[in-house]
């Protein structure tokens, strides 16, 4: 582009939208103007950006005239309606909902993994599911080196993945339980405080949840390899920020645990934290607020010939949503792709 882009943040008053503004500021993203947008209910509110207060404007069908780049985090139905309108107006959309992820016309991108897929965008680019993103960052170097055949993943996902009301529910339930009062579950079907729920999103006909099937299908699309088999179990845990994943991988070529450590130590976006003798391993309390995907507990699966186990942790609001979205925008700028073909 000959000028810095006009950037809209759609859903700017939500947790991810506010984090997007923070990431744009922290990474010094080039812009000529930043416009926070939200529903009529939030229009007129103030959001902070670079020491100033920006006024949130109402999202309408006319909002994207003169906007070059829009970062969406306003829910699937909003994205379904407004992303095509934005693209028709010449604005490139990076969408954080699930609305466009499996659309064949829309790239699904983790910049450390498949930035080349941005080359064929037609105006709308999808940000993957938070649990998929961190798994892809850790698995892509291994797949390139030894070709992954099968992945078995169990997730331990923080309540912030559901939103602000879930954060408040965990906090309120914890307070009430510690003071001997009964708890009420509104956001989740059961108490989340001091509990684990093997239930994220709706159940499908095959017995898996929608969240689990997202990880299956998104992995294949991002990796560009339909031969990779994935099976997932996704669990909500009483943690505020940071998703954790236990991942078992079977590869075609043999890799030792040391091979994997050395490979991931050089991988973009990855920090290897694997020192069991020092009781050092990734934990969500340490990953919260950080950009990296942390990998530890790397060890060989002794039950199969070419197997590796690992533990992967990342901040779901940051790398799992806001940061990955901004990194996509940065990559679009670098590749001169902030334009609708």
Q: Which two tokens stand for residue 185?
A: 């579950």
First-to-last C-alpha distance (Å) of the chain = 14
Instruction: Identify the burial level of 134 via C-beta atoms within 10 angstroms of its C-beta, where 0-12 means exposed, 13-18 middle and 19 or more buried.
Output: buried
Cβ atoms of residues 251 and 149 within 8 Å: yes
> Which of 91, 106, 130, 239 is an active site residue?
130
Task: Mention every residue, 6+ apart, whose C-beta is less than 8 A from residue 313.
Answer: 134, 242, 243, 244, 245, 282, 283, 284, 286, 287, 293, 294, 296
Chain-centroid distance of CA 114 in Å reads: 15
Active-site residue 243, yes or no? Answer: yes
Would you tell me how many other CB atoms lie within 10 Å of the CB of residue 295? 29
Cβ atoms of residues 92 and 68 within 8 Å: yes
> Is the CA virtual torsion 96, 101, 107, 111 positive or negative?
positive
Cβ atoms of residues 122 and 99 within 8 Å: no
Return phi, psi of residue 28, to 5°: 50, 45
Active-site residue 130, yes or no? Answer: yes
Residues annotated as catalytic are: 130, 243
């Amino acid at each position: 582009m000959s000028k810095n882009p006009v950037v809209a943040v759609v859903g700017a008053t939500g947790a991810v939208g506010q984090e997007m503004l923070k990431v744009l500021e922290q990474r010094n993203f080039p812009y000529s103007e930043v416009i926070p947008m939200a529903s009529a209910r939030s229009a007129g509110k103030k959001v902070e950006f670079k020491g100033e207060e920006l006024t949130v404007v109402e999202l309408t069908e006319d909002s994207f005239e003169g906007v070059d780049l829009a970062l969406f985090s306003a829910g699937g139905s909003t994205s379904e309606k407004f992303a095509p309108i934005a693209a028709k107006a010449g604005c490139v959309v990076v969408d954080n909902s699930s609305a466009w992820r499996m659309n064949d016309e829309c790239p699904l991108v983790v910049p450390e993994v498949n930035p080349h897929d941005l080359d064929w965008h037609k105006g709308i680019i999808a940000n993957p599911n938070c649990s998929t993103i961190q798994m892809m960052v850790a698995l892509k170097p291994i797949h390139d080196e030894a070709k992954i055949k099968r992945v078995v993943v169990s997730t331990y996902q923080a309540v912030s993945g559901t939103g602000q009301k879930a954060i408040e529910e965990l906090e309120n339930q914890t307070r009430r339980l510690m003071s001997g009062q009964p708890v009420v579950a509104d956001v989740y079907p059961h108490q989340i405080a001091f509990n684990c729920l093997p239930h994220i999103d709706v159940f499908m006909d095959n017995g898996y949840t929608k969240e689990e099937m997202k990880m299956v299908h998104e992995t294949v699309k991002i990796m560009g390899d339909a031969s990779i088999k994935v099976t997932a179990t996704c669990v909500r845990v009483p943690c505020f920020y940071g998703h954790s994943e236990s991942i078992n991988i079977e590869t075609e070529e043999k890799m030792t645990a040391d091979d994997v450590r050395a490979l991931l130590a050089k991988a973009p976006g990855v920090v290897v934290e694997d020192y069991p003798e020092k009781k050092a391993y990734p934990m969500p309390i340490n990953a919260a607020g950080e950009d990296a995907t942390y990998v530890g507990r790397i060890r060989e699966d002794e039950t199969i010939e070419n197997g590796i186990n690992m533990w992967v942790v990342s901040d779901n609001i940051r790398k799992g949503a806001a940061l990955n979205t901004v990194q996509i925008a940065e990559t679009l700028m670098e590749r001169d792709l902030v334009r609708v073909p």
